[in-house]
Amino acid sequence: MKRYLFTIIILSLFSWGVTVVAQTTEPTQSEINRITNMTYNATVNEGDINVIVNPEYPRAFETVSIRLDSNIIDLNRYLIQWTTDTFEQKSGIGMRDFSIQAGNNGVRKRITVTISGSGTRLVKNITITPQDATLLWEAIDSYVPPFYYGKKQASQESIISLTGIQNFKISNGNQLSDAVYLWTRNGNKILNAGGYSKGNLIIQHNKLRRSEEITMDISDVANANNARVSVTIPITNPEINWYYRDIYNYRKPVSINEGLRVGQEDVTIIAEPFFFSLARINDLDFTWKMNDEILYLDSAAPKNELIVRNPEKSGQVSFSVNLKNPRTFLQSTNRSTTLYFQ
């Protein structure tokens, strides 16, 4: 069966109104052979083989999947041999996929891939070295009372500080100042942060998001050791918790958010703010109410405390506080509690 090479060249000279059409010609056998030989003798090098490692930054003892890809040659038609640390693991025609378990942090695993066929022989070297890094965060302007021992949570518009720590294990040692840091926030690279020995990042919460996703890429100066760590910072709402002092001015450590039964004594109730962006409680705007009626406190008294005199008769009274941070747009909350007099 004859093969024809149809070549149509149309040259339109609009300015002269002339159109020239070249006639089709049949290629000779020598031309067909020359094209075929060019296909098989095309130069292919190691850089034409792409290596896809998943995960890109493996952790210690994690299973790693490796896949070969190329836009130059069809790897499905080549013999592919996988060898790890001089021990053959797998080989076969078109065997582009391989999996291996990473070692401990700092332990290198070397993989050699040999690709052969159609007069081509390529060797690709892959190194898997898991490394460890830590990413810490703190809402530095989040207010909590002195007796609170938990983590300060970030709220709307909080200032958040992040610190990256590398725990690389390599033969010649590696200090924190030797590391290069790259930062990504919510999928976007932070161009004005990161670099050599820049392991700290300070951000202000984006008012449109319910969480902040921060990723840190860290490597040594030679880019021979790499690690990636991500953290999701939840954004909480500021809150109020109720406490009280007894007649001996002793502050009970248990909250009275669900109410308090009072005997014959007077009590001092305390509306304690949590997770507002402020330095002092007095920076907040307090609005007190008793049974939905606004209370006006003595300006010299603490804004978050109210002395309640015992009415000496049975009944209940509801107290509520509305808090607003005048320095922000979104930080506000309210909460109520009930005193039951007996």
What are the b/e assignments for 187-218, b being 16+ CB within 10 Å?
eeeeeebbeeeebebebebeeeeeebebbbbb
What pLDDT shows up at residue 172?
Answer: 58
Residue 29 one-letter amino acid: Q
CA atoms of 283 and 274, how far apart (whole Å): 13
Tell me the mean pLDDT in the region 313-331: 93
Per-residue pLDDT band for 171 (boundaries 50, 70, 90) equals: low
Interval 132-144 mean pLDDT: 95
Which of 334, 316, 314 is CA-nearest to residue 324? 334
Neighbours of 35 (CB within 10 A): 10
**What single letter denotes the amino acid at residue 38?**
M
pLDDT, average across residues 80-104: 91
Confidence band for 146, pLDDT divided at 50, 70 and 90: confident
Least confident range from 86-90, 101-105, 127-131, 338-342: namely 86-90
Q: How far apart are CA 156 and CA 237, in angstroms?
A: 7
How do residues 35-46 score in pLDDT, each as one tens digit? 334 344 357 888
N residues, the chain: 342
The end-to-end CA distance of the chain, in Å, is 109
Contacts of 276 (CB under 8 A, 6+ apart): 142, 143, 155, 238, 284, 323, 325, 331
What value does the mean pLDDT of the chain take?
85
Q: What is the pTM of this model?
A: 0.76
Helix or strand (DSSP H, E) at 318:
strand 315-324
- The residue with greater pLDDT, 33 or 244, is 244
Between the CA of residue 257 and those of 243, 271, 342, what are the distances in Å? 8, 10, 19
Residue 208 has a pLDDT of: 84
Provide the pLDDT for residue 52. Answer: 96
Pairing of strands 226-236, 154-155: parallel
Each residue's pLDDT tens digit, 194-224: 899 899 999 999 888 999 999 999 998 888 8
Which tens digit of pLDDT belongs to each residue from 224-239?
A: 889 999 999 999 999 9
**Which helix (H) or strand (E) covers residue 275, if one does?**
none
Q: What is the pLDDT of residue 147?
A: 86
Nearest-5° angle of CA 276, CA 136, CA 328? 20
Which residue shows structure tokens 């898997």? 128
pLDDT band at 246 (very low <50, low <70, confident <90, very high): confident
What is the per-residue pLDDT for 175? 56
CA dihedral 321, 322, 325, 326 (to 10 degrees): -120
DSSP annotation of 301: S
CA distances to 79, 80, 90, 100, 276 from 84, in Å: 17, 13, 9, 9, 55
User: Residues 269-298: what's their mean pLDDT?
Assistant: 93
